[in-house]
């Protein structure tokens, strides 16, 4: 294979649409990565348009953490673009050995800065994942492969071709639904990457794209390991199911990371102030305030050496849904541990929640979703009794979820 002006040395990457080669750009005598579209695709002008579109999009983005494009062209039936050669490997490769928290913080900040810049240009990447984050020799992170990116307002035919394109393990709920997306979908994917960096595994897995998509759409965000729990609020906001509840820009992620780092440093130095008691005031239809509160108990319902049955009793108060979500993460963890400890002696779960009526439906949805989670499989074989009470003490709803039929 020959491309005028370049001396190809070796293949360094292979994909369905294009291969990547290490080459020397002869005019500058510098190493470059040259991406060459598969010649078999050149017969279809759609693929050529897509390849050129990727190059033009990348050329619009001038940022230290986005790979720069040096050149684009065609020679015979070969479409190509020349980029900076990033020699430090991918985040996917680094995940195998584990990454310390200082590097995690730096990498997420750098990619968030890249996404903020792309968002300012109204460009969505749509495939943020460890394979597409690479490292220069100095260790700085670089966002790669805008092959399925598109402008928010773009050519309709190209949009249709790529509507549900992405990698299921990292796609946002709206991508899995095939809905319109904006830059906040990339921030969700960054949250998935962050979870994997901290936990050593992606938050949701499954046998196929559909099963993974259902989990992204409906399952609660998994809990991080105990020693990484300080990161949970950041992950929760990045991976909010509703884009309106997420960070809206990459710069907001950076600010949150700096605050998290400062708080951790203060705790380590012993200078962190005591947290003030939290009160939540509703601004909609009532002035009743609810203190944040949660209590769980393991109760023996049926005594006996061999036949003891236990009930997990939960009481929670929450003034708004965000507060309930915070409690629910702890409830989810304690239920998981209870199921492991009691095994077949788990007899029933009782949940009483004092909440404002307008979040009662979402509380019910969370209870239903936790029964579907792979990590809480045991909940499908025991009854769950739910008692929802309003902030004024009046009953909202009582119901029972019976075990699934065998």
Q: Which residue segment(s) compose the domain that 379 sits in?
A: 280-401
Mark whether 211 and 311 lie in a shared domain.
no
pLDDT at 79: 87
Using CA atoms, how far apart are residues 39 and 170, in angstroms rounded to an integer? Answer: 30
266-284 per-position pLDDT tens digit = 777 776 564 443 333 333 3
Mark whether 216 and 308 lie in a shared domain.
no
Domain assignment of residue 1, yes or no:
no
Confidence category of residue 4, pLDDT binned at 50, 70, 90: very high
Mark whether 100 and 73 lie in a shared domain.
no
Mark whether 24 and 167 lie in a shared domain.
no
Mark whether 172 and 233 lie in a shared domain.
yes
What residues contact 337, with CB distance under 8 A and at least 6 apart? none
**Among the three residues 38, 58, 84, which one is the final residue of a domain in this structure?**
84
C-beta separation of 257 from 105 below 8 A = yes
pLDDT at 371: 85
Each residue of 68-95: b (16+ CB within 10 Å) or e? ebbbbeeeeebbbbbbbbbeeebbeebe
Domain assignment of residue 170, yes or no:
yes
Domain assignment of residue 227, yes or no:
yes
Each residue of 366-397: b (16+ CB within 10 Å) or e? bbebbbebebbebbeebebebbbbbbeeeebe
Domain assignment of residue 35, yes or no:
yes
Beta bridge partners of residue 314, listed in sequence order = 296, 351
Active site residue 127: yes
Mark whether 360 and 298 lie in a shared domain.
yes
Domain assignment of residue 274, yes or no:
no
The 10 Å Cβ neighbour count of residue 348 is 17
In the set 116, 127, 145, 319, the catalytic residue is 127
Mark whether 134 and 165 lie in a shared domain.
yes
CATH number at residue 77: 3.30.200.20
Mark whether 108 and 153 lie in a shared domain.
yes
Mark whether 305 and 391 lie in a shared domain.
yes
336-381 per-position pLDDT tens digit = 999 999 999 999 999 999 888 777 888 888 888 888 888 898 999 9
Domain assignment of residue 104, yes or no:
yes
Domain count, the chain: 3
Of 17-26, 187-196, 249-258, the one with minimum mean pLDDT is 17-26
Nearest to 187 by CA among 105, 125, 131, 271: 125
Mark whether 56 and 108 lie in a shared domain.
no
Residue 19 reports pLDDT greater than 50: yes
Residue 238 reports pLDDT greater than 90: yes
Domain assignment of residue 38, yes or no:
yes
Mark whether 78 and 102 lie in a shared domain.
no
CATH number at residue 212: 1.10.510.10
Confidence category of residue 183, pLDDT binned at 50, 70, 90: very high
Backbone torsions φ then ψ of 78, nearest 5 degrees: -105, 120
Using CA atoms, how far apart are residues 289 and 292, in angstroms rounded to an integer? Answer: 10
Domain assignment of residue 406, yes or no:
no
**Among the three residues 32, 59, 84, which one is the final residue of a domain in this structure?**
84
pTM: 0.65
**Among the three residues 235, 269, 303, which one is the final residue of a domain in this structure?**
269
């Amino acid at each position: 294979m020959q491309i005028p002006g370049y001396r190809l040395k070796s293949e360094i990457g292979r994909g369905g649409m294009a291969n990547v080669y290490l080459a020397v750009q002869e005019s500058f005598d510098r190493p470059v990565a040259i991406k060459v579209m598969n010649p078999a695709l050149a017969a279809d002008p759609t693929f050529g348009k897509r390849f050129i579109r990727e190059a033009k999009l990348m050329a619009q983005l001038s940022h230290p953490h986005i790979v720069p494009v040096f050149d684009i062209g065609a020679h015979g039936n070969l479409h190509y673009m020349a980029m900076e050669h990033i020699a430090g490997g991918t985040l996917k490769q680094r995940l195998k050995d584990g990454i310390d928290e200082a590097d995690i913080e730096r990498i997420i900040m750098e990619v968030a800065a890249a996404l903020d810049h792309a968002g300012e240009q109204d460009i969505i990447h749509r495939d943020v994942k460890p394979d597409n984050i690479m490292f220069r020799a100095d260790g700085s992170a670089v966002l790669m492969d805008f092959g399925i990116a598109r402008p928010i307002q773009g050519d309709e035919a190209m949009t249709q071709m790529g509507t549900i394109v992405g990698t299921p393990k990292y796609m946002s709920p709206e991508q899995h639904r095939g809905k319109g997306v904006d830059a906040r979908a990339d921030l969700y994917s960054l949250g998935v990457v962050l979870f994997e960096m901290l936990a050593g595994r992606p938050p949701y897995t499954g046998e196929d794209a559909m099963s993974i998509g259902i989990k992204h759409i409906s399952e609660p965000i998994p809990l991080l390991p105990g020693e990484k729990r300080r990161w949970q609020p950041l992950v929760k906001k990045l991976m909010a199911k509703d884009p309106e509840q997420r960070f809206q820009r990459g710069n907001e992620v950076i600010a949150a990371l700096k605050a998290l780092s400062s708080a951790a440093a203060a705790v380590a130095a012993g200078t962190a102030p005591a947290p003030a008691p939290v009160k939540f005031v509703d601004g909609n239809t009532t002035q009743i305030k609810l203190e944040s509160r949660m209590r769980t108990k393991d109760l023996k319902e049926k005594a006996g050496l061999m036949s003891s049955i236990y009930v997990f009793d939960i009481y929670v108060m929450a003034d708004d849904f965000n507060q309930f979500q915070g409690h629910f993460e702890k409830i989810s963890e304690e239920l998981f541990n209870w199921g492991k400890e009691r095994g077949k002696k788990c007899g029933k779960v009782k949940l009483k929640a004092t909440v404002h009526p307008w979040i009662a439906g979402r509380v019910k949805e969370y209870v239903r979703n936790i029964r579907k989670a792979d990590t809480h499989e045991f909940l499908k074989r025991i009854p769950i009794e739910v008692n929802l009470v309003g902030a004024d003490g009046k009953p909202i709803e009582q119901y029972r979820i019976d075990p699934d039929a065998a």
